[in-house]
Chain A
Amino acid sequence: MIHFILIQNRQGKTRLSKWYTPYEDVEKRKLSHEIHKIVNSRETKFTNFVEFRTHRIVYRRYAGLFFSVCVDPTDNELFCLEAIHLFVEVLDAYFGNVCELDLVFNFYKVYAIIDEVFLAGELMEPSKHVILQRMEFLDNLP
């Protein structure tokens, strides 16, 4: 299962964090900090997977943003990597060429989108088309 998802910029500012395992706020800050340190220090030719405590981090960098997902070591890494990409494509289509500022100013939208893609630490909906159609529908509700 996914324990958490983090979107962080290169400076280490966390733009979005979604926690599927309950952590205390202190622990959340510590985890975010550590993850950023790890992924930011890795070279681009390295794998997108890195061991972290008893878990594995699957991450991908898009321009200045790191999307990191913490999963169990038994999870399929490429599954997670492409799930990240699916999510990014959804954001990109929804915001129209998404950039970091879109995520800052519309954070509540991003949370709404993430709940359409992932729930309970699992990938729920694997179709970009279905997700975007749903968002369009929800945005037009009274």
Chain B
Amino acid sequence: MSMSVTNPNIAKTSMRGLTNFISDLRNSPSKENEEKRVTKEMAHIRKEFKENKNIDGYQRRKYVCKLVYMYMLGYELDFGHMEAVTLLSSTKFSEKQIGYIALGILLNEQHEMLPLIINSFKEDLLARSDYFQSLALAAICNIGGKEVAEFLSPLIQKLLIANTSSPMVKKRCALAILRMNRKHIGFVSPDSWVERLVSVLDEPDFGVLTSLMSLLIELASENPVGWEPAIPKVIYLLKKIIINKEFPKEYVYYHVTCPWLQVKLLKFLRYFPAPDESQGGKVLGEILTAIFAQSESAKAGTVNHKNSLNAVLFEAINLIIHLDNDPVLLKQTSLLLGRFLTVKETNIRYLGLEAMSHFASLSNETSIMIKKYQDTVLLSLKDSDISIRRRALDLLYGMCDKNTCKHIVAELLSYLQTADYAIREELVIKIANLAEKFASNYSWYVDVILQLITTAGDFVSDDIWFRVVKIVTNHEDIQAYAASTVFNALQSRNCHETLIKVGGYILGEFGHLIADNPQSSPLVQFNILHSKFNTCGAPTKALLLSTYAKFVNLFPELTQQTQEVFKQHQSYIDAEIQQRACEYLNLTSLNEDLMQTVLDVIPAFIDAKDNSNTTSNTANNSNMINSQDSKISSGGYNQSPQTQIQPQVQPQAQNQQQNVSTNGLDLLDPFGLGLTNQQPTQQPTQQPVYQQQQAESFSPIQNDTVSSFGQQQGGFNSPTIQAAGSPISSGGSDPMQIKILASYKRLCLVTEGVLYEDSMLQVGLKSEYQSGQGRLMLYYGNSSTFPLTNFNITLNSIAGLTLQPQSIAPVIQPKAQLQQPVTFTCTAEFTESPIITINFLTPGKPITISLRLPIVISKFFEPLRLSSGDFFARWKTISGKPLEIQEIFKSTKPIDIQSYNRVIQEGLNITVLKQVDPNPNNIVASCLFPFGSNGQPINSYIRIETNPQANMCRLTIRSQSATLTNTIKNLLISHLQ
């Protein structure tokens, strides 16, 4: 087919007004001029549509095109859709076509206008000309949703098999059915469809066959059972093309017969077991051999020729690996893949590495066959192209076994030092998994993990270090080794915080094993840990306090130093640390027996191996496996950790497991053993919300609570408290506390309001959020009759949220107000809200108020609309703790689904997906958090099943981030309960 240099048809169908308009916009000297021109044109077109009664088809077509063009440039369009619909009913093809194109660009399947145009679709489907039918079918393929499927599917079915339908119509029908099935999984069942679809395989037109094979692959990937009758015909078609060389000549592409159809035919067979004799099993062997033979010619010829042959070849290799029944072909495959590793074309190397991963996972023999390529693969790990590096890493991970693991892990560790950030997280998870899976001795394992922490501490997740701690606890023979190794590692000046955590935990438990050595005496151990204390974040500090408490128990000579630290932290701002300090101080000074019981060595963990499973899950997820196709795609190297280790945890183990995985601190927190009698004030850890340091003489309501707490806490007060007044952790029953919590919760759902109010100070705020950025305006109002002086605000960033408060004047006059803008950026998942501490002086008395700012992760959520099919397809890809959390709770108020929907949708910015779950008592929702800590957006999927009679709710949340899942759970419970 050759066309003249300029196609005369273009001029014939073009519109001069449109061309001029596009020229104008392109020639605009500035963005402002362009905007002006666009505004002017929009106004003109709007007027024309409204007032010009004689507007003709040509003009309407031209205007709609202009509007679409402006929309494509990014301008919003609030009219014109109806005009595009009007074009649909034109009898002129050129007008109807523009109507369909415009709607295809402007609408998506959720658009409210779609039901209005179903009738136009139907009329065109019933038209006698295949070009009108084609337009409607294309629109159904592009934007058809559920209603379209319900209303038009019988008609489309009929068109697919009717003898009178042209190939143009048939191929579109096949894809329209595919589309409807995607929107409505299970829509096409083999019982009623298999015969009809198989009969279409007799169609001689390759366009129809290509489209039909897409449909069959989709159906088989969902569930292959019932589609077997297609197998003999598919093999026959392959034979016709590859061996008999019968094909229509217009389908030859660079000397290869329709590579796309060949690929699809081969891919279909991958969903079934090896075909037997009656299905054409033997012929298939011949076909695959012929494909290998013809790929030899790929050495010469154009790029397109080679690519086409290789597309078919790699599909054949995948099929050979799947069938796993022909030793000759398998042997050939391994040789071929080995050759691909060193070819110049990066595309082929990439695909070779990927196919080799599948091959390696097949069996012991296949993995031995490729052992000899290990060094070549290691070289690919240093390729400049990250795509190649990723594939090489996957393959090495799959190649690793007991004999090679030390070498491979050493290589991966050395690569980790220079690896770029994009791949580090995956690398760390893979190394940790390999080290654990193949460790012949655990001291090597400990070394590897410590090296991981030292080289890439930021990427070592909690899961990984919890795992080390568990393994060390459970293996007595390495405890002393682990203690001395971490002790040595801690000598380095810049320790990663994760190392300090591991060090704190291990020395607290097993430090006594190395205490006889004067170089690591108890005091030296304490000093080295405490020298890092001030640089650590709150969770690590809390952990170290527990370590110190353990030290007191093990080494009585450290009592004085450690108690000094506890005393210093009795009034610490972080409630968890404050609580630990108070409790440990008392525990270590009151009753020795009790102390010994509580601070005894942690017993061995019951090993459910759940955590390693978790980490390999994460590895899987980052490997981007599409659930539907995972059977054929990923190869066993990803699946093996999951299949080997059944996460069947006994109840007892599960408890411990939860302790480990939900909060590292619980590992060391030995409380909850009935200490409440001794420590009546230690309830409020769950609400580190409100602390107020205040002297006795202010508002009477507060005075009451202050004094009662003062009395209760009297025994624990120490002279080292930072500010005047006594520290108060207000309990749950304090009316002030309840009021503060209510304001906080309300502001988590709305953008402005009062955060705090007492007789002196009112704190209000307004907030706005946009794509990861937020801006808060805080208003501090002095409602007293005296000035508030030395007014200052402490507001620190937390992990995942960077806050930048502007400075503020030090005095608020009576009845006056100060404003403070705070800007902030969300960089990763965060769990808690930041805490603002307000300090000021009233005549003679210092006041401190600590409040939680209503900045919660949901403020950064973006809508995620999914169809029911998409929702469930993605829902299925995630399961198991900690990515999935389920929780049942009882609502304190009668359950009202409408108000739940409102809270979720409007308050928490989570998109409620209507019509996904037919049960009106259930809610299905999803949201997108664009700033995942791995640099990628994270989707979350939520189901809430309510039982209004019992007032109970069951909540299930799944996302690719354990932190996010957990945070969403907490948010939902706190706002729905």
Contact = CB atoms under 8 A, between A and B. Distances in A.
A44 to B, nearest CB: 10
Contacts of A106: 10, 14
Nearest to B143: A22
B261 A126 contact: yes
B347 A126 contact: no
B36 interface: no
A22 B259 contact: no
B390 A96 contact: no
Given A49-B347, A77-B351, A139-B9, A93 B210 contact: no
Contact of A22 (B251, B346, B865): B865
B98 A108 contact: yes
Interface in B374-410: 384-388, 390
A38 B463 CA distance: 31
Given A29-B74, A77-B347, A51 B624 contact: yes
Given A19-B108, A45-B346, A129 B250 contact: yes
B459 interface: no
B971 interface: no
B138 interface: yes
Nearest to A14: B72
B387 A93 contact: no
B867 interface: yes
Contacts of A136: 9
B633 A78 contact: no
B957 to A, nearest CB: 19
B38 to A, nearest CB: 16
A93 B2 contact: yes
A82 B142 contact: no
Given A22-B108, A122-B175, A82 B72 contact: no
B204 to A, nearest CB: 13
A44 B105 CA distance: 32
Interface residues of B, number: 94
Interface in B318-353: 346-347, 349-351
A26 B928 CA distance: 12
Contact of A125 (B142, B207, B314, B351): B207
B138 A104 contact: no
Interface string A105-142: 11111011001000110111111111011111111111
Contact of A82 (B311, B314, B629): B311
Nearest to B180: A120
Contacts of B936: 53
Given A96-B3, A126-B251, A50 B386 contact: yes
A107 B72 contact: yes
Greatest chain A CB density within 10 A among B108, B315, B936 is at B108
B351 A141 contact: no
Contacts of B625: 54, 73
Nearest to A93: B3
Nearest to B177: A120
Given A46-B385, A82-B253, A82-B311, A74 B632 contact: yes
Nearest to A102: B10
B11 to A, nearest CB: 10
Interface string A44-64: 011111110111100000000
Interface in B833-865: 862-863, 865
A70 to B, nearest CB: 12
A120 B179 contact: yes
A124 B211 contact: yes
A74 B172 contact: no
B551 to A, nearest CB: 47
A50 B626 contact: no
Given A82-B260, A108-B68, A26 B171 contact: no
A96 B385 contact: no
A24 B863 contact: yes
B143 to A, nearest CB: 8
A128 B1 contact: yes
Interface stretch (B89-97, B286-294, B660-668): B89-97
A113 to B, nearest CB: 11
Contacts of B386: 50
A78 B311 contact: yes
Contact of B260 (A26, A79, A139): A79
Interface stretch (B302-310, B605-613, B743-751): B302-310
Contacts of B141: 119-120
A87 to B, nearest CB: 12
Given A93-B3, A122-B178, A139-B9, A78 B351 contact: yes
Contacts of A133: 1
A11 interface: no
A97 B6 CA distance: 8
B210 A49 contact: no
Contacts of A74: 626, 629-630, 632-633
B13 interface: yes
A26 B7 CA distance: 36
Contacts of B214: 120, 122-123
B65 interface: yes
A137 B101 CA distance: 18
A141 B314 CA distance: 42
B109 interface: yes
B253 A124 contact: no
A88 to B, nearest CB: 11
A129 B799 CA distance: 58
B5 interface: yes
Nearest to B318: A76
B250 A127 contact: yes
Interface string B1-44: 11111110110111000010010001000000000000000000
B72 A73 contact: no
A124 B624 contact: no
Contacts of A20: 142
Nearest to B932: A53
Contact of A126 (B138, B253, B626, B865): B253
B347 A125 contact: no
B258 interface: yes
Contact of A78 (B9, B65, B310, B387): B310
Interface string B114-146: 000000000000000001000000100110000
Interface in B932-951: 936-937
A49 B865 CA distance: 28
Contacts of A129: 1, 250
A120 B346 contact: no
Contact of B388 (A22, A47, A135): A47
Contacts of A140: 9
B1 A54 contact: no
Interface string A67-101: 00000111011110111011000000111110000
A117 B544 CA distance: 64
B142 A119 contact: yes
B633 A73 contact: yes
A93 B870 CA distance: 37
A81 B347 contact: yes
Contacts of A127: 206-207, 248, 250-251, 258
B7 A122 contact: no
A91 B172 CA distance: 21
Contacts of A132: 1, 3
Nearest to A46: B385
B816 interface: no
Contacts of B93: 138, 141-142
14 contacts: A51-B387, A51-B390, A77-B351, A79-B263, A85-B304, A94-B7, A105-B22, A107-B68, A119-B141, A119-B142, A119-B175, A124-B207, A125-B207, A127-B248
Interface of A: 1, 19-24, 26-27, 29-30, 42-43, 45-51, 53-56, 72-74, 76-79, 81-83, 85-86, 93-97, 104-109, 111-112, 115, 119-120, 122-130, 132-142
Given A53-B936, A74-B632, A79-B315, 8 more contacts: A22-B110, A22-B865, A49-B350, A76-B263, A95-B7, A119-B142, A123-B210, A139-B13
Sort A-B residue pairs by CB-CB distance and give the 3 closest, nearest first.
A78-B311, A139-B9, A74-B629
